[in-house]
A = this chain, B = another copy of it.
């Protein structure tokens, strides 16, 4: 994207810059909250991963995922968030969780994987 014909920060009206700063502070606060929620979420999914590995349950569970997606789409609609985005978001998180679960399953069967170079 070219920015040569668009105003830089120095050209922006101070009132606009202040409003932008106010909104960005809110965005930063929300991001901090979400990062901490996700840290807590991965703590729970790591426990699920160990439980599944110990009891030879498969890392992925498509019935559970379908229920999660349907529920999140409804929650998103009520919160006026694009349900398609909520679904994409959950798939993004689940892909990461499944990677973790597969790693846990491998470590449980064969002992911890060697440290990569």
The answer to whether B23 and A76 have CB atoms under 8 Å apart is no
**Interface size classification for chain A:** 35 or more
Q: Which residues of B have CB within 8 Å of A108?
A: none
The answer to whether A55 and B90 have CB atoms under 8 Å apart is no
The answer to whether B40 and A37 have CB atoms under 8 Å apart is no
Closest Cβ–Cβ distance, residue A75 to chain B (whole Å):
5
Q: Mark A13-41, 1 if CB is under 8 A from B, else 0.
A: 10010011001101110111111111111
User: Given contacts A23-B51, A24-B48, is CB(A1)–CB(B41) below 8 Å?
Assistant: no
The answer to whether A16 and B55 have CB atoms under 8 Å apart is yes
User: Given contacts A23-B44, A23-B51, A51-B19, is CB(A38)–CB(B6) below 8 Å?
Assistant: no
Q: CA separation between A23 and B82, bound complex, in Å?
A: 27
Closest Cβ–Cβ distance, residue A74 to chain B (whole Å):
10
Q: CA separation between A91 and B24, bound complex, in Å?
A: 16
Q: Mark A58-90, 1 if CB is under 8 A from B, else 0.
A: 111000100010011001100111100110011
